[in-house]
Amino acid sequence: MADRRNDAGPRPEVPGTKHELRRSALAARDALPGAERARLSVAVCARAAALPELDAAATIMLFAAFRSEVDTEPLVSWALERGKTVCFPRVLEPRRMAAYRIADPAADLVRGTWGIREPREGLEEVPPERMDAVVVPGAAFDAAGGRCGYGGGFYDTYLARTRPGIPWVALAFEVQLVDELPCEPHDLACGVLITEARTIRTCRY
Q: What is the CATH number of domain 18-201?
A: 3.40.50.10420
- Higher confidence at residue 73 or residue 95? 73
Instruction: Render pLDDT for 92-132 as a digit per residue (tens, 0 to 9).
Output: 998 899 999 999 999 999 999 789 999 999 999 999 999 99
Residue 79 has pLDDT above 60, yes or no: yes
Res. 83 pLDDT band, cuts 50 70 90? very high
Residue 27 has pLDDT above 50, yes or no: yes
- State the pTM of this model: 0.88
CA atoms within 13 A on the CB side of 102: 27
**Domain spans in the chain, listed from the N-terminal domain onward:** 18-201
CA–CA separation, 39 vs 89, rounded Å? 25
CA atoms within 13 A on the CB side of 186: 11
Q: Which of 14, 70, 26 is nearest to 45 (CA)?
A: 70
Let me know: does 159 contact 136? Beta carbons within 8 Å: yes
